[in-house]
């Protein structure tokens, strides 16, 4: 089944906003067995929107639109759809009540433009938008389905998850799709593929394996279609187990979550605590950890020790270690990790010290040289990495490498 | 002048990759006076690419393509263009030498697929891609210009900046555009607009003012076109000065840079140092600061103190302050900022303590309650913010509010 996405709004075309909606929608549609044929971003102009609709419905059966539903005059999507489908506007009382209620709760006066948000093309199905004032509209015309949603990401996501995706499954009578994701770290896509080639070759035609690589991690996603959901789930689980046994060393978890979240969950289950001692990653690792709700159960805190002084005073790195071996060295990074454990009183710690660049390279230590250590109360391990010349990439890759090392240390200790 | 962007690749349609290229290209094209009419993302299929090209050249004079130029079989852009423009492939010796050189430097063997990267449609202008093996191709056909670039962002960006944008200006004989950006913080778009309404009304028709809002900051961009570049620059500067005088309190800097970078530059010029004491922002502020090259000249480091223990041990917050007023309080956040200054020996410090959510709300302190303090050696100021219920947004908004407070403290001290 083919779908197209049309995003409407000048702000995308002038580059003020990055269109993250389409990628998210593409992922979610794929999960229910719908392929996106084309994504089209058009301006807030009626003729342009109509042309995009003409072209899209020649290629696809489902056309999902986002944007252009605000109360201001530059938003023309609703009027354009009214004219395109030849459906005059009618005032929808349920929508009016919803909009009125929102303004009452915010204690703000309603103006004519807000009331007009309750006008909808007569002939579409109105789906209430709990997170905003613009209603979602569902059209069935000439055997095709057209859906118009607001462009605000969290309004669109909620509507898709709660209303649109279930209705799409029903309208197109899609067979169930079951997905199982295995998060791996530390081995590249092509090497993983080599190791599980024979398992992949044995997959029946209704089960597909996708490789989704990102920054040193690869997600393996098994997706199966079939009528008997229970049998399908068992079948996919069987292949997932085969794969996980084969590449056990590289499996983080059999869930579709972030690497640091998988670590937090494991540590929380065992009542373990973590701290960080960051130099070149500059707080990025603790930011990754603390963006997850509930991280405070595991994460006590950390130090961003850019200067020699702070490495000594907060982390207890010895002055002579710094002067003898330098800040970017095995000795320093190990003392940073051990210092974090003793000063921050945690069970585990991560330490990173490197040259993120673009400046700061030293003889024998070019930009991209990064030492990473992970420590428990009984053990400390350090490893040297040589990344590239780009600062942001070096920070991101260092963080992922550090988290992967921590995961491996946890595996050794907990198994 | 109208352009269209066509991004080619299944990875965008399945949502594996967010298309950030198009937004960046849209911005850069706007700066030289080219408007993007439509952005289209299509699959790696020859017929689909051809259809997109047919449609795009009916609307625009310039069609920029990215993606589908890799050495593997699933990349079909080059073959498709060869067939679309009826230009058989020829081997380009300069490209072959470039590709051979890259493989020699990496000490990797070249296979047939790599050699084929040097084959180009006979009739296009080849532009060497210094950052990769896929050449950029420029076609002039029927009065329209088509450019095919690799999809890897840093390869595309370099090619656009160094080669494509200058050639576009020349090919379409675009009149010069001059931009001047004023970064403001702390006041919303509509309030700013109100304050400078009369100045905006006086702008001549060849100078436009755009409001680009983002997380508590608004960029004001003046863009002017004209034949006499020097006169135009003076004219824009005149209006920029008028605006900056009017809203002086909210002006960060008259450059198009990030807020934290503006702060770093100001502090570096005065030889001042900075540290951070973060609780709910969890390292995000120090990450923002340290992502900028050269930040180590100003930033000594900081603490991410999630636990009570760490707030006491690293930052010297008094135990009784925490037990009497709680971690999220004016007293605690002030002691955190002062502790950072004395423990980390810096001239200035930022401290944040709040409830990022979604859990952790307290009676009288709902999720989204955030206390922020900024301190110099002689002064400490704290402010209470009430953000929303979304964790990531609370973290981002806290960081921006903290940086804005620091900027204002610096202004008081330095003026």
Chain B interface, best mutation among A6, A48, A282, by max B CB count within 10 A: A282
Going from the C-alpha of A49 to that of each of A80, A119, B19, B43, B129, the distances in angstroms are: 7, 19, 21, 21, 36
* Across A315-343, average pLDDT: 96
Q: Best mutation site among B5, B9, B15, B389 for testing chain A: the one with the most A CBs within 10 Å?
A: B15
**Residue B72 predicted with pLDDT over 80:** no
Q: Chain A closest CA to B119's CA: distance in Å?
A: 26
Average confidence (pLDDT) over B266-272: 97
pLDDT at B199: 95
From A140's Cα to the closest Cα of chain B, the distance in A is 24
Residue B55: list chain A partners with CB under 8 A: 55
> CB–CB of B25 and A16 under 8 A?
no
For residue B214, is pLDDT > 90? no
Q: How confident is the model at residue B216 (pLDDT cuts 50, 70, 90)?
A: confident
Per-residue pLDDT tens over the stretch A382-391: 999 998 888 9
Position B197 scores a pLDDT of 92
The answer to whether residue A287 scores a pLDDT higher than 90 is yes
- Kindly tell me if the per-residue pLDDT of A250 is higher than 80: yes
Q: 3-state secondary structure string, chain A?
A: CEEEEEEECHHHHCCCCCCCHHHHHHHHHHHCCCEEEEEEEECCCHHHHHHHHHHHHHHCCEEEEECCCCCCCCCCHHHHHHHHCCCCEEECHHHHHHHHHHHHHHCCCCCHHHHHHHEEEECEEEECCCCCCCCEEEEEECCEEEEEECCCHHHHHHHHHHHHHHHHHHHCCCCEEEEEEEEEECCCHHHHHHHCHHHHHHCCCCEEEEEEEECCEEEEEEEEEECCHHHHHHHHHHHHHHHHHHCHHHEEECCCCCHHHHHHHHHHHHCCCEEEEECCCCCHHHHHHHCCCCHHHCEEEEEEECCHHHHHHCCCCCHHHHHHHCCCCHHHHHHHHHHHHHHHCCCEEEEEEECCCCCCCECCECCCEEEEEEEECCCEEEEEEECCCCHHHHHHHHHHHHHHHHHHHHHHHHC
B41 with A39: Cβ contact below 8 A: yes
Which CATH number applies to A176-253: 3.40.50.1980, 3.30.70.2860, 1.10.645.10, 3.90.1170.20?
3.30.70.2860
What integer best gives the mean pLDDT of chain B? 93
pLDDT of the residue at A71: 79
According to DSSP, residue B134 is labeled: S
In this structure, the number of other CB atoms found within 10 A of the CB of residue B57 comes to 18
pLDDT above 80: residue B281: yes
Nearest CA to A403 out of A356, A351, A368, A353 is that of A351
**CATH topology (fold) of A259-414:** Maf protein (3.90.950)
Tell me the per-residue pLDDT of B146-179, one tens digit each, with 9 for 90 and over.
999 999 888 999 999 999 999 999 999 888 788 8
Nearest C-alpha in A relative to B15: A23
Q: What is the pLDDT of residue A393?
A: 87
Inter-chain touch A22–B14, beta carbons under 8 Å: no
Nearest CB neighbour to A26, from listed B15, B36, B55: B15
Instruction: Specify the pLDDT at position B145.
Output: 98
pLDDT of residue B59: 95
Q: 145-204 in A: which are within 8 Å (CB) of B?
A: 154
Q: Where are the alpha helices (DSSP H) in B259-377?
A: 259-269, 284-290, 308-313, 319-325, 330-344
Among A363, A359, A364, which residue's Cα sits nearest to residue A389?
A: A359
Per-residue pLDDT, B78: 96
**Residue A184: both structure tokens together:** 């791996």
User: What pLDDT is stored for residue A65 in this prediction?
Assistant: 98
**What is the structure's pLDDT at B113?**
84
CATH of domain B2-171: 3.40.980.10
Rounded to two decimals, the ipTM of the complex is 0.83
pLDDT at B213 over 90: no
Determine the longest span between alpha carbons in chain B, in angstroms: 80
Query: In chain B, which segments carry CATH 3.90.950.20?
Result: 259-414
Portions of chain A given CATH number 3.30.70.2860? 176-253
Q: How far is B263 from chain A (nearest CA, A)?
A: 17
Distance between CA atoms of residues A54 and A66, nearest Å: 16
What's the pLDDT score for residue B168?
97
The three-point CA angle B248-B253-B254 to 5° equals 95
Taking a C-beta distance cutoff of 8 angstroms, is the pair B13, B67 a contact? no
Tokens at A91, concatenated: 């005032």
Domain with CATH 3.40.980.10 in chain B: 2-171
Tell me what pLDDT residue A152 has. 86
pLDDT in tens, B375-387: 999 999 999 999 8
Partner A contacted by B206 (CB < 8 A): no
Nearest CA distance, A278 vs chain B (angstrom): 9
Assigned token pair, B55? 């449609």
């Amino acid at each position: 089944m083919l779908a197209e996405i049309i995003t409407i709004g000048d702000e995308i075309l002038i580059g003020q906003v990055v269109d993250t909606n389409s990628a998210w929608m593409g992922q979610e549609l794929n999960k229910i067995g719908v392929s996106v044929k084309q994504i089209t971003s058009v301006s807030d102009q009626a003729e342009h929107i109509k042309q995009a609709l003409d072209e899209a419905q020649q290629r696809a059966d489902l056309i999902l639109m986002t944007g252009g539903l605000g109360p201001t005059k530059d938003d023309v999507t609703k009027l354009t759809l009214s004219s395109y489908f030849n459906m005059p506007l009618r005032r929808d009382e349920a929508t009016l009540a919803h909009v009125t209620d929102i303004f009452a709760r915010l204690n703000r006066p309603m103006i004519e433009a807000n009331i007009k948000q309750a006008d909808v093309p007569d002939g579409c199905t109105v789906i209430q938008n709990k997170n905003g004032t613009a209603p979602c509209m569902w059209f069935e015309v000439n055997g095709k389905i057209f859906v118009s949603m607001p462009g605000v990401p969290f309004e669109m996501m909620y509507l898709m998850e709660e209303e649109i995706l279930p209705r799409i499954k029903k309208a197109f009578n899609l067979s169930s799709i079951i997905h199982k994701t295995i998060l791996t770290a530390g081995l590249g896509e092509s090497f993983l593929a080599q190791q599980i080639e024979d398992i992949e070759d044995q997959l029946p035609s209704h089960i597909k394996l996708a490789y989704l690589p990102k920054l040193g991690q690869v997600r393996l996603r098994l997706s199966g279609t079939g009528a008997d959901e229970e049998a399908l789930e068992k079948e996919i689980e069987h292949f997932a187990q085969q794969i996980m046994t084969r590449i056990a060393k590289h499996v983080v978890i059999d869930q579709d979550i972030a690497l640091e979240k998988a670590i937090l969950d494991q540590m929380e289950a065992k009542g373990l605590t973590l701290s960080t001692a960051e130099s070149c990653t500059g707080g990025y690792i603790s930011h990754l950890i603390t963006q997850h709700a509930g991280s405070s159960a595991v994460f006590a805190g950390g130090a961003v020790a850019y200067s020699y002084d702070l490495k000594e005073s907060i982390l207890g790195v010895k002055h002579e270690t710094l002067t003898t071996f330098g800040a970017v060295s095995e000795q320093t990074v190990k003392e940073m990790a051990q210092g974090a454990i003793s000063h921050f009183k945690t069970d585990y710690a991560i330490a990173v010290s490197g040259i993120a660049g673009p400046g700061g390279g030293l003889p024998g230590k070019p930009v991209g040289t990064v030492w990473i250590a992970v420590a428990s109360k009984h053990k400390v391990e350090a490893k040297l990495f040589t990344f590239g010349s780009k600062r942001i990439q070096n920070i991101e890759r260092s963080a992922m490498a550090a988290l992967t090392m921590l995961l491996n240390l946890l595996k050794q200790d907990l198994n």
